[in-house]
């Protein structure tokens, strides 16, 4: 492992549970990995349980919430994922494994596939091609913009603000078309392999128009009392075990793009966005400002990416090694890590840490003492994907 | 005046399209000949089986997409749904891709409401159950309950390779469908056009 070391103790911030291990900023440890504590549910006189999900109009994916309430306040909450998929990856050659990794969570497919490939490349000790790494950044930043636009559209929809909702969905569609045009597939399926990205980013500057349009909607939302009243003070939480936009909204400048140097983000120069709101409004603000920041990065990448093929000579022989690799990337919702063991070009074992698993614990904690009317705004503000929560890799 | 949404909406103008201005190659119809190293056996005797294809490009360049997005099969129509057609989406085990593309039918580009197609929040008001993702254990019961709760006449729509054939992840949905919409994920245009076909005579 070139980027991580095994240790008895965690070093740097704690990221979360990675298989049977605990992942920190700089080290991986064996043994217990305390997760955010489950909130305590008091049983008061007249309180009752109310079930939301697993399938309901407001939910995009299948998850069940059991909410304890006294009619107004949410006193306690539990969540149960309903679409658990077991995906078998061990025993597969690298290329076959990629097909499955791509399908863990399509909205974050670039982040998943790139983290997986980087961990394999780490295990194989491959020399990484700079152009490939730049193109990988372009993929992840496009994915971030699409995701944040979608989360903000869901928030606007929850507030019944139809014009911005549809306008934002239009922008999501525009980003999908830009990705489709560049890479042939709207969710980056079939695009990534070892040291190679099959995309032509000649149209990348289209992102300027998209984000200019977004900026106007964003300015409108920030000034809309109808909108911000639903978000401010809703789902307030400051927890140092948080990741991604939820951490940055609470003032923690956690960002794998800066604290894990596997992709050359430093060559682009960008700001990590933080706020001190630590509520749904803060998470919305961080996402909005990150769209603008990612757009600047893509413009810089446009000048740096040469659309010639990678100069890396692929020798299948070099894949036939035994080794372990561990890599973390900043997916749109926070840290995403893969730990793989390789044997002779075959994936022997794989462990995954997704931002949705960390964000779900945080969300559940932040819901207590809010009212049900606030629930949907808080839920959407985390950008949790049940697909990656419910997946069990074998 | 930044949040006078109505004025803004008018100013932006109509963006709805008859046919998408841009289509990505993958997921469109695949044509070709010769050998294919297909992980889902979607090519048999040089014939392409759209329901099994996960659009992984392994068969490229012998087989190539031809930009025809009309990759759905209509098995049954229900003209009673001509004026209004209410869909209840249900995720039995998807990767989120089919969900996103389905959601984008409400974007101005596709604007499904112009065809009298709407989402509903409950299966009790639904004409169609639109299922995406592979069949997962816990969702079996949920699917059955949702189907039972729907009034007659009702139809089932399978969306995406996972729901139709299991794709490369698991098992498909063992229910008889009025429409099967191939793709991984299907393009919103493919979904929209397939849905309008259910309402025909
Ligand atoms: S794209 Fe992949 S799944 Fe589809 S026919 Fe070609 S090889 Fe088979
Ligand atoms: S068909 Fe493809 S996009 Fe749809 S759920 Fe399955 S893997 Fe995801």
Q: What is the pLDDT of residues B98-124, one digit of tens each?
A: 999 999 999 999 999 999 999 999 999
- Residues from chain A that touch B119, judged by Cβ atoms under 8 A, are 57
Q: How confident is the model at residue A50 (pLDDT cuts 50, 70, 90)?
A: confident
**CA R_g for chain A:** 21
Check if the beta carbon of residue A371 is closer than 8 Å to that of residue A45.
no
Tokens representing A109 are 């497919």
What's the mean per-residue pLDDT of chain A?
Answer: 92
Q: What is the pLDDT of residues A115-130, one digit of tens each?
A: 999 999 999 998 889 9
What angle do helix axes A355-367 and A372-382 make, rounded to 10 degrees? 160
CA-B58 nearest atom, ligand 1: 7
Check if the beta carbon of residue B57 is closer than 8 Å to that of residue B26.
yes
Closest CA to A290 of A235, A260, A331, A322: A331
The fold for domain B70-197 equals Rossmann fold (3.40.50)
Q: Which of B32, B59, B60, B161 to mutate to test the pocket of ligand 1 (most atoms within 8 A of CB)?
A: B59
Tokens representing B68 are 């025809």
Please work out whether the CB of residue B135 comes within 6 Å of at least one atom of ligand 2. no
- Residues from chain A that touch B55, judged by Cβ atoms under 8 A, are 185, 189-190
CA angle A279, A282, A287 (to 5 degrees): 130
Centroid of ligand 1 to alpha carbon of A95 (angstroms): 14
pLDDT surpassing 90 at residue A56:
no
Q: How confident is the model at residue A40 (pLDDT cuts 50, 70, 90)?
A: low
pLDDT surpassing 90 at residue A378:
yes
Q: What is the pLDDT of residues A84-105, one digit of tens each?
A: 999 999 999 999 999 999 999 9
- Residues from chain B that touch A100, judged by Cβ atoms under 8 A, are 168-169
Please work out whether the CB of residue B40 comes within 6 Å of at least one atom of ligand 1. yes
Tokens representing A71 are 């009619």
Lowest mean pLDDT among A220-224, A286-290, A316-320, A379-383: A316-320
Tokens representing A367 are 């819901």
Q: Determine contact: A163 vs chain B, CB below 8 A.
A: yes
Q: Determine contact: B16 vs chain A, CB below 8 A.
A: no
Q: What is the pLDDT of residues B57-95, one digit of tens each?
A: 999 999 999 999 999 999 999 999 999 999 999 999 999
CB-CB under 8 Å, A82 with B139 = yes
CB-CB under 8 Å, A150 with B188 = no
d(CA B163, CA B170): 9
Check if the beta carbon of residue A375 is closer than 8 Å to that of residue A367.
yes
Coil, strand or helix at A40: coil
What's the mean per-residue pLDDT of chain B?
Answer: 93
Mean pLDDT of A209-235: 94
* Nearest beta carbon to residue A172 from set B56, B107, B121: B107
d(CA A153, CA A159): 10
What phi, psi does B45 have (nearest 5°)? 50, 45
Please give the residue that has the higher pLDDT: either A132 or B14: A132
B84-98: buried (b, 16+ CB within 10 Å) or exposed (e) per residue?
Answer: ebbbbbbbbbbbbbb
pLDDT surpassing 70 at residue A36:
no
Ligand in nearest proximity to the CA of A95 = 1
Please work out whether the CB of residue B88 comes within 6 Å of at least one atom of ligand 1. no
CB-CB under 8 Å, B2 with A62 = no
d(CA A267, CA A297): 10
Domain with CATH 3.40.50.12280 in chain B: 70-197
Is the ipTM beyond the 0.90 threshold? yes
> β-strands B72-74, B63-65: how paired?
unpaired
What percentage of residues in chain A have a pLDDT greater than 90? 82
pLDDT surpassing 80 at residue A34:
no
Q: Tell me the CB-side half-sphere exposure of residue B142, using CA atoms within 13 A.
A: 24
Coil, strand or helix at A224: coil
d(CA A238, CA A116): 30
Ligand in nearest proximity to the CA of B52 = 1
Lowest mean pLDDT among A207-211, A254-258, A368-372: A368-372
d(CA B101, CA B103): 5
The pLDDT assigned to A53 comes to 85
Q: What is the pLDDT of residues B150-200, one digit of tens each?
A: 999 999 999 999 999 999 999 999 999 999 999 999 999 999 999 999 988
Please work out whether the CB of residue B167 comes within 6 Å of at least one atom of ligand 2. yes
Q: What is the pLDDT of residues B11-26, one digit of tens each?
A: 777 689 999 998 999 9
């Amino acid at each position: 492992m070139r980027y991580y070391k095994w240790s008895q103790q965690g070093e740097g911030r704690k990221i979360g549970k990675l298989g049977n291990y605990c992942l920190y900023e700089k080290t991986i440890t064996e043994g217990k990995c305390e997760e955010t504590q489950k909130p305590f549910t008091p049983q008061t006189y007249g309180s009752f349980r109310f079930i939301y999900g697993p399938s309901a109009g407001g939910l995009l994916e299948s998850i069940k919430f059991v909410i304890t309430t006294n009619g107004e306040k949410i006193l306690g909450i539990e969540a149960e994922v309903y679409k658990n998929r077991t995906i078998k990856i061990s025993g597969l050659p690298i290329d076959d494994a990629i097909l499955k990794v791509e399908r863990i969570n399509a909205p974050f497919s670039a982040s998943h596939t790139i983290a997986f490939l980087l961990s394999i490349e780490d295990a194989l000790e491959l020399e990484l091609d700079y152009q490939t790494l730049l193109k990988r950044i372009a993929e992840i930043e496009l994915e971030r913009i699409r995701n944040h636009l979608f989360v903000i559209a869901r928030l606007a929809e929850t507030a019944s603000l139809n014009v911005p909702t549809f306008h934002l969905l239009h922008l999501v569609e525009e980003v999908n078309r830009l990705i489709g045009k560049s890479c042939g597939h709207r969710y980056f399926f079939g695009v990534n392999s070892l040291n190679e990205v099959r995309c032509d980013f000649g149209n990348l500057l289209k992102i300027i128009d998209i984000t200019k349009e977004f900026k106007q909607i964003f300015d409108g939302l920030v000034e809309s009392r109808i909108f911000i009243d639903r978000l401010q003070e809703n789902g307030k939480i400051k927890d140092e075990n948080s990741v991604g936009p939820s951490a940055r909204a609470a003032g923690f400048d956690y960002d794998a793009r800066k604290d894990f140097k596997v992709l050359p983000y430093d060559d682009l120069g960008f700001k990590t966005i933080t706020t001190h709101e630590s509520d749904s409004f803060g998470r919305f603000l961080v996402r909005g400002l990150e769209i603008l920041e990612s757009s600047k990065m893509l413009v810089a990448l446009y000048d740096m990416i040469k659309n010639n093929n990678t100069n890396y000579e692929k020798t299948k022989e070099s894949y036939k090694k035994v080794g372990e690799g561990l890599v973390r990337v900043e997916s749109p919702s926070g840290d995403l890590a893969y730990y793989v063991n390789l044997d002779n070009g075959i994936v022997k074992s794989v462990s995954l840490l997704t931002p949705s698993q960390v964000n779900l614990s945080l969300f559940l904690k932040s819901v207590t003492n809010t009212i049900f009317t606030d629930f949907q705004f808080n839920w959407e503000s985390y950008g949790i994907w049940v697909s990656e929560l419910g997946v069990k890799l074998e | 005046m930044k949040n006078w949404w109505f004025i803004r909406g008018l100013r932006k103008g109509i963006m709805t399209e008859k046919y998408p201005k841009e289509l990505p190659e993958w997921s469109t119809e695949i044509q070709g000949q010769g050998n294919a190293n297909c992980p889902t056996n979607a090519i048999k005797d040089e014939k392409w089986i759209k329901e099994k294809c996960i659009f992984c490009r392994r068969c490229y360049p012998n087989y190539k997409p031809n930009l025809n997005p009309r990759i759905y099969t209509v098995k049954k129509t229900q003209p009673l749904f001509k004026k209004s057609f209410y869909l209840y989406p249900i995720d039995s085990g998807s990767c989120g891709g089919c969900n996103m593309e389905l959601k984008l039918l409400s974007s101005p580009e596709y604007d499904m409401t112009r065809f009298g197609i709407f989402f509903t929040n409950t299966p009790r008001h639904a004409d169609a159950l639109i299922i995406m993702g592979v069949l997962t254990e816990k969702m079996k019961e949920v699917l059955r309950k949702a189907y039972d709760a729907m009034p007659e006449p009702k139809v089932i729509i399978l969306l995406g390779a996972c729901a139709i054939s299991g794709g490369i992840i698991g098992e498909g949905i063992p229910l008889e469908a009025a429409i099967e919409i191939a793709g991984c994920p299907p393009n919103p245009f493919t979904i929209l056009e397939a849905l309008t076909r259910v309402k025909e005579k």
